[in-house]
Amino acid sequence: MKRRGYIQIYTGDGKGKTTASFGLALRAAGAGLKVYIGQFLKKGDYSEIKALSKFDNITIEQYGLGRFVKGRPSEKDMDAGTAGYLKLCEILKQNRHDVVIAEEANVAVMCNLFTEKELLALMDMKSENVELIITGRNASQSVIDRADLVTEMTDIKHYYKQGVMARVGIEK
């Protein structure tokens, strides 16, 4: 008997969206589930990438150029986003993973790397047994409405505002 998978959204301006989704990936891997993580807009050897890559049942791919996208994305940014979107579509169609995480997909939509309509189509192509997690601030109302679980991280207080930069092992 196959288990039912749901669509989860982690959004908001507060810290913890990626951490929550990667914690779920860790839990799923510990239960023997197969996990795919596609990270939009990111590229680099972050601590969480190093840790999760030690699991045989977690695959992580990055669809970014390793820099912050401000304003209008470059053609290379657009190409990377499109390639990532198409890869996620392929992963969902193959139905070989129990958990699929579209990390920063809401931000990719906000940066026009792909459209809200395409993100909704991605949500629709998920098989009944797949748990799909979408992260990133500014989730649209349509994405929120389509999801089964939505958590909004709220920034109440953050030491970044006092000049504390991202620390290895804590924020990166």
pLDDT at residue number 68: 64
Would 139 be classed as within a structural domain?
Answer: yes
pLDDT in tens, 17-69: 999 999 999 999 999 999 999 999 888 778 888 899 899 999 999 998 876 66
- On whether the CB atoms of residues 79 and 86 are closer than 8 A, the answer is no
Evaluate whether residue 156 is within a structural domain.
Answer: yes
Q: Are 57 and 30 in contact (CB under 8 A)?
A: no
**Residue 59: enclosing H or E segment and its boundaries?**
strand 58-63
> Under DSSP, is residue 130 helix (H, G, I), strand (E, B) or coil?
coil
Structural domains of the chain, count: 1
168 in any annotated domain: no
Residue 95 included in any domain:
yes
Residues 6+ apart with CB under 8 A from 99: 5, 24, 25, 28, 33, 34, 35, 36, 130, 131, 133
CATH of the domain at 145: 3.40.50.300
The pLDDT tens digits for 119-158 are 999 999 999 999 999 999 999 999 999 999 999 999 888 8
The answer as to whether 170 is a domain residue is no
Instruction: Say if 70 falls within a structural domain.
Output: yes
171 in a domain, yes or no?
A: no
Residue 130 belongs to a domain: yes
Instruction: State which residues form the domain around 120.
Output: 7-162
> Which residues does residue 103 pair with via DSSP β-bridges, in sequence order?
39
User: Which string of DSSP letters, residue by residue, matches 154-171?
Assistant: --S--GGGGTPPP-TTTT
